[in-house]
């Protein structure tokens, strides 16, 4: 459990950064009328899922030792 907590702390910044970037990018895309790829037609939900996925991938890569 301690390892999981440590991995989450290391990956939180990546998840937050990707979420903010996705929010900006998806908001612009939705304003231009391109909302086909949004989950539940929501920019926030889609950006949160993208950020969580990025955080999970970083945690896996760190845990397996590929990032060192």
User: Does a structural domain hold residue 67?
Assistant: yes
CB within 8 Å of 13: residues ≥ 6 apart: none
Q: What is the pLDDT of residues 37-60, one digit of tens each?
A: 899 989 999 999 999 999 999 999
User: Does a structural domain hold residue 2?
Assistant: no
User: Does a structural domain hold residue 6?
Assistant: no
Structure tokens belonging to residue 56: 């999970």
User: Does a structural domain hold residue 64?
Assistant: yes
d(CA 47, CA 27): 10
Give me the number of domains the chain comprises.
Answer: 1
Structure tokens belonging to residue 13: 């910044």
Q: How many CA atoms lie within 13 A of 62 on its CB side?
A: 17
User: Does a structural domain hold residue 1?
Assistant: no
Tell me what pLDDT residue 66 has: 81
d(CA 15, CA 21): 10
- Say what the pTM is: 0.84
């Amino acid at each position: 459990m301690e390892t999981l907590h440590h991995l989450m702390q290391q990956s939180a910044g990546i998840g937050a950064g990707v979420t903010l970037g996705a929010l900006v990018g998806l908001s612009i895309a939705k304003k231009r009328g391109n909302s086909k790829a949004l989950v539940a037609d929501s920019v926030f939900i889609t950006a949160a899922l993208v950020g969580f996925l990025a955080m999970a991938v970083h945690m896996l890569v760190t845990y397996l030792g590929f990032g060192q």
